[in-house]
Homo-oligomer: A and B are copies of this chain.
Amino acid sequence: MNRRVVIIGGGAGGPSTAAEAGRRDPTLAITMIEQGEYVSYAACPMPYYIGDVIKDAKSLIARTPEKFREGGVDVRMGAQAERVDLSAKVVYLNDGGAVPFDVLVLATGTRPILPGIPGEDMEGVFVLKQLPDAVGIKKFLQEIKCRKAIIVGAGFIGMEMCEAFHDAGVNTTVVNRGRMPVPRWDPELGQLIVESLKDHNIELLADTSIQAIEKGETCNLRLVTSQGNMEADLILLAIGVRPSVGLAGDMGLVLGRTGAVSVDLSQRTSNPAVYAVGDCCEAYHRVSRKWTHIPLGDIANKQGRIAGRNIAGIPSIFPGIVGAQAFKLFDLEIAATGLDERESAEAGYHPVSTLIWGDAVPIAAPGATRLGLKLIADKATGLLLGAQAVGPQGAVSRINTLSAALWSGMTVEEVAFLDLAYSPTFSRAWDMIHIAAQDLAKQMLGKP
């Protein structure tokens, strides 16, 4: 009998596992269980679908259920895995079905954190996690009259949704519990973000906690906050996500310090018959040497491919992450990689940092467009630990170059002399990467 692989979750990591396992071992009998109405879609572009840069939700779908079925994968849509019997090796579904497996893959993703305030379940209150959320928001936007939206949370989904609502012609207010949006970025860099929001008429309320959602007067809803009340037709709750580990917990699988499913570098959980991939599990961070939970689509895709290979009998290792991430806010690229100072200290390093400013467009607009770059390094070893960049151009480029440097464990002395493609239209002869790294090298004990 063919080995039976059952995958729970059809977002990104699950389909990636299914595709790779099936490709590598066509004899596998693969079943993919998805509780929603879509599989294999790109969640990250959803704000651009809502902002109507992407017209059709279908274009977010990488592979339809039909396509998977053609490839021999048994896709069960609208089916929820309620319980797993690990000794009998059976998944029990909410529709009464029972699916036996030899290998189980958890790809259960995350669920949005809800603030737990009165009224958070009212009509017009949304989260953005699944494709149906995006479809619902886009449809709702076309119907609302007062053209006002409130985003609760200033993380990077909150920021991307500012642009989406702005593009959709909706007046937007962001309510942030902390002082600065996306606090992973240094406040000096964050100031560019604050200015960009202001330039696009988006109100940012800092240091504001939310207390309740009520029926509004001029708009449908009223948000009660520590800074007073405001009204809107749509409230988006974007205060973060948690790994969906209900099933994993019930099965007695080991969870990591982060609360996500603990896996090894092969994506195996504490039970040798069970793999986990994507946002529900941890990933090894090459710089901190700790297991972390950074739920991002590209990581899920990679983990799925590694799990798929291992399931197909090809021993494969997921070499981990360095924490590279980026988003766009209007004309700004906002990117970071590696560790920030707090994470560096927690990992046992002695962080020192530098933050420099340069021209994003050296020749065409000298002085007009600023790019900010922050580097963090370990004072003891000189190792590069992290980087952050914000600017109208060149931020993602530099962060990706520095991600490759972090991947290999380069010191700032090495980064200071890295050979990069120099052309006056793209950088100066000494790139900002070199200048920042040299600046840091000076802070190292015993370095010239």
Contact = CB atoms under 8 A, between A and B. Distances in A.
Interface of A: 12, 24, 42, 44-45, 48, 53-54, 59, 286, 296-299, 301-302, 306, 309, 314, 316, 318-328, 333, 335-337, 363-364, 366, 396-405, 407-408, 410, 414, 417-426, 429-431, 448
Contacts of A59: 366
21 contacts: A12-B429, A42-B424, A42-B429, A286-B419, A296-B422, A298-B430, A298-B431, A301-B430, A316-B448, A322-B419, A324-B422, A326-B423, A337-B419, A397-B397, A397-B401, A398-B400, A400-B421, A402-B404, A404-B405, A407-B408, A407-B410
Contacts of A54: 363
A387 to B, nearest CB: 10
Given A53-B363, A296-B422, A423-B396, A417 B333 contact: no
Given A363-B53, A404-B405, A419 B327 contact: no
A286 B417 CA distance: 13
Contacts of A417: 302, 306, 318-319
Nearest to A423: B326
B48 A324 contact: no
A448 B326 contact: no
Contacts of A425: 48, 327-328
Contacts of A363: 45, 48, 53-54
Nearest to A328: B425
A24 B298 CA distance: 46
Most buried by B among A45, A333, A399, A400: A400
A279 B326 CA distance: 37
A24 B442 CA distance: 12
B316 A53 contact: no
Contact of A324 (B319, B421, B430): B421
Contacts of A431: 298
A351 B298 CA distance: 29
A321 B418 CA distance: 8
A181 B421 CA distance: 19
Most buried by B among A53, A319, A364, A396: A396
A314 to B, nearest CB: 4
A320 B333 CA distance: 31
Contacts of A423: 44, 325-328, 396
A426 B394 CA distance: 11
